Amino acid sequence: MRRRAVLAGVALLAALVAPHAARAQGADAIDAPRISMADFKKLVAAKNVVVVDTRNPDAFPLGHIAGALLLPPEGRLTWPDEYEKVVQRLIATRKPVVTYCA
């Protein structure tokens, strides 16, 4: 059940970003659409975005985008229980979700 919820969340992430995104680049690109920095700044200014930091948990406290949620996938289909609240928030949100890793 948890795996289904996480997979649904990942699908939802891609669907939520789609209205604000440019097309993926290259045939081997990930399905998740990309947005420009200008579009991202507009979403942040309008407070109409959920930002997810997918970096290593050790990097997050060293600096991150204000308000970003930490969710390091590290090739996982599920996350430890400590990230369950983040996953549930992403599933429930109606805002666009933007992820970053650097």
Res 79: pLDDT: 78
pTM exceeds 0.85: no
CB-hemisphere CA count at 13 Å for 49? 25
- pLDDT for res 82: 86
Per-residue pLDDT of the chain (102 residues; tens, 9 = 90+): 444 444 344 444 444 444 444 444 454 555 778 899 999 999 999 999 999 999 989 999 999 999 999 998 876 777 788 888 998 999 999 999 999 987
CATH code, domain carrying 66? 3.40.250
Residue 88 sits in which domain range?
A: 2-100
> Sign (positive/negative) of CA torsion 68, 70, 76, 77?
negative
Residue 78: the pLDDT is: 74
The number of CA neighbours under 13 Å toward the Cβ of 81 is 0
When divided into structural domains, the chain yields a total of 1
